[in-house]
Structures are given as structure tokens and as C-alpha cells.
Amino acid sequence: MRRTVRLRDVAAAAGVDASVVSRVLSGDARLSIRPETRERVLEAATRLDYRPNTAARTLKTARTMAIGMIVPDLANVNYATIAQGAEEAAGTAGYTLLVAHGSAADRLPDLHGRIDGLLIGMATSETPRHGEFGGGVPALLVNRREPCGIPSVTVDDEAGGTLATQYLISLGHRRIAHVAGPQNADTARRRLRGYASALATAGVELGPEWVAESSFDEAGGHAAAGRLLRLEPRPTALFVANVRAAIGAMAAARRLGLRIPEDVSIVGFHDAPFAAFLDPPLTTVRMPLAEMGRQAADNLLALLRREPIEDLMVAIPPELVVRGSATAPAR
């Protein structure tokens, strides 16, 4: 069992001082060194398979070179996509992305000292108070904007809501109901706003009973859609603010004996690998989540450099993925 290789071991092997090795390996620009010396150092480092001690380096520099991301639900495809983008951007900047599962309040203590900054994905049920996460590392909210003093990166949920609704309108629908997300989440509120503004633009007037609030999951979508589909006159189309809720909505429609899309069209929000294999395949709105992750990481890194940060909305527009769950209304 060989002892772990230290900087000084490399230095000894190369016949130089440890500080020289340090400067060579960290690519210090302001270092002038004889090419052959550098060569010897590099050779010794690779030969001995030197790996810098992270703790020592962190202790000295006061930087971990890692950023954390807290996700409320590890199994959520959306967070996975966001994380992938974030990891890419972090990696490019030489940082590692560490993911933890839970709420920021719960996991922050665990992460303390292991990360330089934090990307916070919040559960839709959380409503943070102002300044709640101030104590500790620089933080950035991902996919949610909250008045808690933390800057955010989001996507254009309103445009997504408008896109979905406009599509249904263009198909000829007028009685379009909305399975809205939990209204304490601003993403859900913005999607609702997009829905409402698309209707307004088209001159369609619908009362508040055409919107049913739901959690972002199957059971919620099932319940909310069940209520909506009992309205008289019945909606010919549903815009559902989430893929998982959309699955629940489809189940609710079937349970009422309604065919999709003949009797009721359904458009979802966000995409998932299984959406194309549902019966019928789900038409949905795809948001630039990976890009949001990338920009979130970039912005967090800027924050670490103490650059001024604003709330940011990813400029890439949402995309309509047309599959089989929406068609023109029967007449």
C-alpha cells in the first residue's frame, strides 16, 4: 500500500522545490521557468500519479471549486435536464457540480464547506421568506423566482402558456380549460398568465371556473381535470401546466368516457421520454431547461466572482412538440 503522493514528493523526484511544482501544475502565468525544468516537473507528476489534496488546497485558497445543486425531487426529469446543463457549464469553468436531494434549509448545513455556491431548485410547495437562505454560500434560484433576496434564472413560462393555448385556439378550440399548477409557485402563475393572455388576444372570454389549480403530479392533474371536464358546456380542450399532471388529466378524461383527442384535446407542459408512448402520444410544450441550467451555473459563477447579478430569463423561446393528443374540436 503506497503512501499518497504529496507535492513535495514530486518536488523531490524532479529535484526542485515544492512551490515550483505548485506553480507549474496550476499553470501560473507569471512564472518564468526553464522548459527543461518544467518538463522534469511534469514528468515526475505524471510518473508518480500525483493528485493534489483537495482539502489542503481548499484550506489554503478558501475555495472548493465545487458548486452544489439542491433538487426537491431527484426523479424529476426536469431537474435532471437542468442539472445536466448546469454540470456542463460548471465543468467548462473547472467546477464540479454536486447534487443533493431535499430542501435548501435541510441540506445547506451538510453542504457547508463543500461548495462555493448553490443552485436552489425549490419544491413547488415551498414559499421561502425574505432572506431565508442568506446565511452561508452565494445562492441562485433555478426555475423559480421568489421575493427572498436571491437572484434567479427562469424560463419564459408565460410564453409557454401562450404557445400551448394559441395552438389550441388555432385548432379551432374556444372552450379551453386550464389545469393550472400550484399558485404559490410563480412558474405556475406565469403559465396561467400565458393562458389568460392568449385567450384575451383571441377575444375568448372564460370565467374563473375554467381554471382548476392542481399539484404538479398525476393525482393532482387527475382531480383537477375531472372537475373541469364536468363543466357545462364541457371544455373541448385542456391545457395542463405539467407533463405529470397531463397524464393524470388523460386518465380523468378516459374515466369519463371521453376520447382523446376526439372529445377533448390535451396539451401538456414540459416533455418526458415516455410522453411519446402514451395513448395518444402527448402534445406538449418543451422549455429550454438544459440551457436554463447552463445559464444558472454561469450566473452563479459570476456571482462568485462578485459580479453584479440580475434576475435572468432564458431568451430561447419554448417549442411546441406536436404529437397526437390535440386536434380540431368536433363540430
Partner DNA sequence: CTGTTAGCGCTTTCAA
Partner DNA sequence: TTGAAAGCGCTAACAG
Per CB under 8 A, the list member of 112, 129, 130, 259 interacting with its own copies is: 112
DSSP bridge pairs for 213: 180
Contact between 59 and its own copies per CB under 8 A = yes
DSSP line for 248-288 = HHHHHHHHTT--TTTT-EEEEES--GGGGGSSSPPEEEE--
Length of the chain: 331
Taking the complex as a whole, the smallest distance from the CB of residue 267 to its own copies amounts, in Å, to 17
Per CB under 8 A, the list member of 6, 38, 101, 234 interacting with its own copies is: 101
| From DNA, its own copies, none, interface partner of 19 (C-beta below 5 to 8 A by class) | DNA
Comparing CB distances to DNA, the nearer of 4 and 75 is: 4
Cα distances (Å, whole numbers) of residue 54 to 3, 40, 98: 16, 23, 15
Taking the complex as a whole, the smallest distance from the CB of residue 8 to DNA amounts, in Å, to 6
Cell of 25: 501544475
DSSP line for 163-211 = HHHHHHHHTT---EEEEE--TTSHHHHHHHHHHHHHHHHTT----GGGE
Taking the complex as a whole, the smallest distance from the CB of residue 134 to DNA amounts, in Å, to 20
Taking the complex as a whole, the smallest distance from the CB of residue 104 to DNA amounts, in Å, to 23
Of residues 207-266, those binding its own copies (CB under 8 A): 217-218, 222, 244, 247-248, 250-251, 254
Q: Which residues contact 290 (CB under 8 A, 6 or more apart)?
A: 81, 82, 84, 85, 88
Task: Give the three-state DSSP class for 224.
Answer: helix
Report whether 210 contacts 177 (CB < 8 A): yes
| From its own copies, DNA, none, interface partner of 251 (C-beta below 5 to 8 A by class) | its own copies
Comparing CB distances to DNA, the nearer of 15 and 147 is: 15
Comparing CB distances to its own copies, the nearer of 10 and 16 is: 10
Q: Which residues of 29-49 are buried (b: 16+ CB within 10 A; e: fewer)?
A: eeeeeeeeebebbeebbeebe
Per CB under 8 A, the list member of 276, 315, 322, 330 interacting with its own copies is: 276
Per CB under 8 A, the list member of 277, 315, 317, 330 interacting with its own copies is: 277
Contact between 56 and its own copies per CB under 8 A = yes
Please name the helix (run of DSSP H) or strand (run of DSSP E) that holds residue 108, with its range, or none: helix 104-111
| Residue from 80, 132, 116 nearest 101 by CA | 80
Per CB under 8 A, the list member of 17, 28, 43, 110 interacting with its own copies is: 110
DSSP class of residue 151 equals -
Comparing CB distances to DNA, the nearer of 25 and 302 is: 25
Per CB under 8 A, the list member of 18, 80, 231, 316 interacting with its own copies is: 80
Taking the complex as a whole, the smallest distance from the CB of residue 22 to DNA amounts, in Å, to 3
Contact between 83 and its own copies per CB under 8 A = yes
Rounded to an integer, what distance in angstroms lies between the CA atom of residue 205 and that of residue 194? 14
User: Which residue ranges make up the site for DNA (CB under 7 A)?
Assistant: 4, 6-8, 15-20, 22-23, 25-26, 28, 31-34, 37-38, 50, 52-53, 56-57, 59-62
| Residue from 86, 78, 123 nearest 105 by CA | 123
Comparing CB distances to DNA, the nearer of 115 and 266 is: 115
Q: Which residues bind its own copies (CB under 8 A)?
A: 51-56, 58-59, 64, 66, 73-77, 79-81, 83-84, 87, 91, 96-101, 110-114, 217-218, 222, 244, 247-248, 250-251, 254, 273-274, 276-279
